[in-house]
A and B are shown apart, each in its own frame.
Chain A
């Protein structure tokens, strides 16, 4: 048993001090090696299947429900046979889907980057929040600035705010060894209440509009800080350029991780911090850096929503926001890779917009009910991904089918071990 290969080792999880080195990254690395693209697809299908059962058991028709949700996503726009009227609706819906996908990509990256360094960043939601606060503050101030510098300033402010917020958890981890799961959970709630305070009635950042003094909402973002809309009507929440910024971030993520020394160190720490330390890598420095980068992604996500379509922060919207938490499901389903995260974000973005009040046909399925369905699917995806053992077992059994280059000696060793 002790001679088990690395994929198996990552799962063995012996009790005792050595076991502490089995990081989520190491487990998931085994998972990535094993699964390829088939496992995430199966995971999503299984989650949709179970959610379909929930729909069925509660007396609705899963097929028509899923069809209505699909039409709500606007993804049917890509079908050439969609006629002109439906096509207009589909385009509007697809714009919504992509608007939601942009921040999801970024919060997904915020979780994925931490995972690759062996850290679990549950704090995406809080980092997203401080990003929105910074963006709305900068975006609604300095109204006489020219357009491009104003947008850049607001984006940078949000990114830095997120980086600092997450950096707190990184510093605590690196200096006193405080577990990042606990500190990021706590930071989420601090960010939550700080926002509820800032924009509350008589709060320091409540709006200055005399007509809105009884409304707990921030000032509106100035026209000069709004992201340009390139598809659809800006008055009807057309698609803003945020999706390109998010895709650029995916590229940055991939380059940092796979083509830079920093990325090499990050991955080394993620797979085995002790070995990395022995190899001369400063583990603590990497923890701080990685958390700050994660926070930067999530903070950027906040600015996309504020400068792209929300244009203000209302205290009523804060408890409802799930973008940061959805990032966990996005990253896990995307196997913490750049491209995987982008695809998973599109899936969840489509689900969110397909089940929204605005896009889902209430005659077929109640949108409020459907948004809970999204949460159920999110939970199922995370749950299924957490059980990497199932997948590895399946893959071991099916190795003949899923054989990958370089996997053969691994398999041979495992047969010996078993």
Chain B
């Protein structure tokens, strides 16, 4: 695993693949030791570790692991460069930005809506219906979530109203995509425009200039009994919104459903080869309807988290592209719940960091928000392994 071994003998004492991963790890460590709490104030150790990471990458490259090898080389250089930059900046600033427990807690907060959206996207696309309308379904959930919570004076009923509204919008997408065999991307974009217009219209018509009231019922936070008392871990993950926990459970549940249950297998078969699925007696139409509607309800849950969980109010177009980041997480995570969770956490982390970076550079922090989209571009370019959508995604199905 270590680079020392990697350079020691050309015999297969260590697999090139492991050397690649090790190199990536070393690159991260190189930066990590220059940040709080370790705070090594001289760049030399980081540079040494960075060089080792590059060496491990080169070894992995020689062994034929192209992507991992380059990954390790990039990680080594970036880690060392980051560490050098960190040692040059003030300790106070660093401590302001990098408080790991707070960063992790913020990452979870930012990732939650993305996770819900991504789960929705996976369900729909695995059934063969491309869903670029996630943004609109999320926005609908955000508005109707707080609208319902305000009118019915209960966060739970508000959540249900939001999900129902998302499901209705998803039903429209399903009807056009399945029955009318519409182009799914066009229909999805229509959903986004409709959601933007309808939520903005009702919001202004009902609340006017005042905006949503301050005392709307909010989704409660839930503390983990034992975990919250553990020093570092407690600050990071001891307490979070109920919906954050549901999102995390949802990832596991969807993974089990898709890959360990007969119904999940049927759903995937409809997305991969609908004709074959129909031949063995699975109703393609019904499966896709259920999947798309579930997708809308899930995405709407993510939106409702924004309005009645996170912020406590609504404003026009409040999702501001989060639905598209969720779509990016689906692709980045290769249409798998676990992968999408990892992507959502990565994107959430970049948002959390962007909130704190203004200490260093206010405008630079803004640029940081583009990171999820740039990473996804790199991912679809095939640099980090090929991401492959379900075979029949986007193709209307006609029964014979």
Residues of A within 8 A of B (CB): 1, 11-16, 19-20, 22, 24, 27, 54, 58, 120, 122, 168, 172, 176, 178-179, 181-183, 185-187, 189-190, 192-194, 196-197, 200-204, 206, 319, 325, 328-329, 332, 366, 368-369, 371-380, 382-383, 385-390
Contact status of A15 and B275, CB under 8 A, knowing A380-B194, A389-B180: yes
Please tell me if the beta carbons of A189 and B193 are within 8 angstroms of each other in the complex. Answer: no
Nearest chain B residue, comparing its CB with the CB of A326: B193
Shortest Cβ gap from A291 to chain B (Å):
14
Nearest chain A residue, comparing its CB with the CB of B366: A197
Set of chain A residues within 8 Å of B202, measured between Cβ atoms: 58
Which chain B residues (182-239) contact chain A, with CB distance < 8 Å?
A: 182-183, 185-187, 189-198, 200-202, 204-205
Please tell me if the beta carbons of A328 and B189 are within 8 angstroms of each other in the complex. Answer: yes
Closest 5 CB pairs of A and B: A375-B197, A379-B193, A379-B194, A376-B197, A383-B190
Please tell me if the beta carbons of A19 and B395 are within 8 angstroms of each other in the complex. Answer: yes
A186 to B382, CA, bound (A): 15
**B370 interface contact, C-beta 8 A:** yes
18 contacts between A and B (CB under 8 A): A12-B398, A13-B396, A24-B183, A120-B183, A176-B381, A176-B382, A182-B380, A186-B328, A189-B324, A192-B370, A193-B370, A196-B366, A201-B363, A376-B193, A376-B201, A378-B193, A380-B190, A389-B182
A58 to B181, CA, bound (A): 32
Nearest chain B residue, comparing its CB with the CB of A393: B180
Set of chain A residues within 8 Å of B189, measured between Cβ atoms: 122, 325, 328, 382
Set of chain B residues within 8 Å of A319, measured between Cβ atoms: 317, 320
Please tell me if the beta carbons of B273 and A375 are within 8 angstroms of each other in the complex. Answer: no
Interface centre among B198, B201, B320, B321 (most CB of A within 10 A): B201
A178 to B191, CA, bound (A): 24
Please tell me if the beta carbons of A15 and B197 are within 8 angstroms of each other in the complex. Answer: no
Please tell me if the beta carbons of B364 and A189 are within 8 angstroms of each other in the complex. Answer: no
A307 to B321, CA, bound (A): 28
Set of chain B residues within 8 Å of A374, measured between Cβ atoms: 197
Which listed residue (A20, A379, A387, A389) contacts B197, Cβ 8 A?
A: A379
Please tell me if the beta carbons of B172 and A383 are within 8 angstroms of each other in the complex. Answer: yes
Interface centre among B176, B192, B200, B377 (most CB of A within 10 A): B377
Please tell me if the beta carbons of B366 and A200 are within 8 angstroms of each other in the complex. Answer: yes
In the complex, how many residue pairs between chain A and chain B have their CB atoms under 8 Å apart? 186
Shortest Cβ gap from B3 to chain A (Å):
31
Please tell me if the beta carbons of B381 and A366 are within 8 angstroms of each other in the complex. Answer: no
**B267 interface contact, C-beta 8 A:** no
Please tell me if the beta carbons of A16 and B275 are within 8 angstroms of each other in the complex. Answer: yes
Please tell me if the beta carbons of A373 and B186 are within 8 angstroms of each other in the complex. Answer: no
A183 to B196, CA, bound (A): 22
Please tell me if the beta carbons of B373 and A15 are within 8 angstroms of each other in the complex. Answer: no
A1 to B192, CA, bound (A): 35
A12 to B395, CA, bound (A): 10
Set of chain B residues within 8 Å of A368, measured between Cβ atoms: 204
Please tell me if the beta carbons of A372 and B201 are within 8 angstroms of each other in the complex. Answer: yes
A378 to B377, CA, bound (A): 28
Which listed residue (A22, A200, A373, A389) contacts B201, Cβ 8 A?
A: A373
Contact status of A366 and B204, CB under 8 A, knowing A13-B396, A182-B331: yes
Please tell me if the beta carbons of A179 and B380 are within 8 angstroms of each other in the complex. Answer: yes
A183 to B320, CA, bound (A): 18
Interface centre among B274, B327, B367 (most CB of A within 10 A): B367
A194 to B398, CA, bound (A): 43
A28 to B391, CA, bound (A): 23
Nearest chain B residue, comparing its CB with the CB of A191: B370
Nearest chain B residue, comparing its CB with the CB of A186: B373
Which chain B residues (324-354) contact chain A, with CB distance < 8 Å?
A: 324, 327-328, 331
Which listed residue (A15, A22, A182) contacts B273, Cβ 8 A?
A: A15
Interface centre among A179, A387, A390 (most CB of B within 10 A): A387
Contact status of A369 and B204, CB under 8 A, knowing A194-B367, A385-B186: yes
Nearest chain A residue, comparing its CB with the CB of B330: A182
Shortest Cβ gap from A280 to chain B (Å):
27
Please tell me if the beta carbons of A387 and B176 are within 8 angstroms of each other in the complex. Answer: yes
Which listed residue (A13, A179, A192) contacts B181, Cβ 8 A?
A: A13
Shortest Cβ gap from B371 to chain A (Å):
9
Please tell me if the beta carbons of B363 and A200 are within 8 angstroms of each other in the complex. Answer: yes
**B64 interface contact, C-beta 8 A:** no
A389 to B182, CA, bound (A): 7
Set of chain A residues within 8 Å of B205, measured between Cβ atoms: 58, 369
Shortest Cβ gap from A125 to chain B (Å):
11
Shortest Cβ gap from A42 to chain B (Å):
16
A19 to B274, CA, bound (A): 12
Set of chain A residues within 8 Å of B195, measured between Cβ atoms: 379
A22 to B395, CA, bound (A): 9
Which listed residue (A120, A187, A189) contacts B185, Cβ 8 A?
A: A120
Please tell me if the beta carbons of B367 and A197 are within 8 angstroms of each other in the complex. Answer: yes
Which listed residue (B172, B361, B400) contacts A202, Cβ 8 A?
A: B361
Which chain B residues (232-290) contact chain A, with CB distance < 8 Å?
A: 273-275
Nearest chain B residue, comparing its CB with the CB of A24: B183
Nearest chain A residue, comparing its CB with the CB of B182: A386
Which listed residue (A58, A122, A206, A375) contacts B196, Cβ 8 A?
A: A375
A207 to B214, CA, bound (A): 37
Set of chain B residues within 8 Å of A386, measured between Cβ atoms: 176, 180, 182-183, 186-187, 190
Please tell me if the beta carbons of B181 and A389 are within 8 angstroms of each other in the complex. Answer: yes
Contact status of A372 and B370, CB under 8 A, knowing A378-B193, A390-B180: no
Which chain B residues (363-392) contact chain A, with CB distance < 8 Å?
A: 363-364, 366-367, 369-370, 373-374, 376-377, 380-382, 389, 392
Please tell me if the beta carbons of A197 and B201 are within 8 angstroms of each other in the complex. Answer: no
Nearest chain B residue, comparing its CB with the CB of A205: B363
**B156 interface contact, C-beta 8 A:** no
Set of chain B residues within 8 Å of A15, measured between Cβ atoms: 273-275, 392, 395, 397
Which listed residue (A12, A190, A202, A206) contacts B373, Cβ 8 A?
A: A190
A185 to B380, CA, bound (A): 12
Shortest Cβ gap from B351 to chain A (Å):
12
A332 to B185, CA, bound (A): 13
Contact status of A197 and B364, CB under 8 A, knowing A16-B275, A176-B382, A178-B382: yes
Please tell me if the beta carbons of B201 and A189 are within 8 angstroms of each other in the complex. Answer: no
Please tell me if the beta carbons of B196 and A379 are within 8 angstroms of each other in the complex. Answer: yes
Set of chain B residues within 8 Å of A377, measured between Cβ atoms: 197
A65 to B256, CA, bound (A): 53
A179 to B132, CA, bound (A): 13
Shortest Cβ gap from B299 to chain A (Å):
16
Nearest chain A residue, comparing its CB with the CB of B376: A186
Set of chain A residues within 8 Å of B182, measured between Cβ atoms: 383, 386-389
A320 to B56, CA, bound (A): 48
Shortest Cβ gap from B212 to chain A (Å):
16
A329 to B197, CA, bound (A): 14
A161 to B48, CA, bound (A): 41
Set of chain B residues within 8 Å of A379, measured between Cβ atoms: 190-197
A200 to B370, CA, bound (A): 14
**B362 interface contact, C-beta 8 A:** yes
Shortest Cβ gap from B166 to chain A (Å):
16
Set of chain B residues within 8 Å of A382, measured between Cβ atoms: 186-187, 189-190, 193
A204 to B400, CA, bound (A): 60
Shortest Cβ gap from B389 to chain A (Å):
8
Shortest Cβ gap from A9 to chain B (Å):
11
